[in-house]
Amino acid sequence: MTGALTLASPVISAWTAASEPDSSGVEAAFNQMVGALKSGNLDGFYGAMHPAFTMIDEDSPFRMNKAEFQDHIGFHVSGIWESFEWKPLTFKSREFGSSGTITGFATFRGKPRDAGFRIRHLMFAQTWARTSAEWELVLWHQSPVDGHIFGVSPT
């Protein structure tokens, strides 16, 4: 496994080499949303999401709308987990007029009560829209990296 990570590192590091982000751009909105989640400000985290937001999450077989995703996160913060964190490792932002994308790699890690520590390495893609002069997250899809590696090509 170490060899695979070593081979991937030049690609990953290339994603982190970016110019200074625009303070009014999609990357700034993404960083603000990540900061809200990291600090436990769930109102700020959910506030970044458009009312018609859709989530495709790695631990649910169903698409979730904003209310369903809030309920899903509520399950995690209800005391079942001692702690958890979603941490973007590398990402690339792009803007296309009034829409933008954030794509990259992240790690979800946490400690459920009465169970061992958990960690998932993820690929993610987000679609953002500029509405009323602010960026709102409209679609977030994430899935485990190993799901993109194992069994992708016949041997």
Q: Where are the domains of the chain?
A: 23-149
pTM for the model stands at 0.78
pLDDT at position 30: 98
Q: Which residue has the tokens 């700034």?
A: 28
pLDDT at position 99: 98
pLDDT at position 2: 33
pLDDT level of residue 91 (50, 70, 90 thresholds): very high
What value does the mean pLDDT take over residues 101-120? 91
Arch. (CATH architecture) of 23-149: Roll (3.10)
Higher pLDDT, 7 or 143: 143
- Beta strands (DSSP E) in the chain are 49-56, 64-65, 81-96, 99-112, 118-131, 134-144
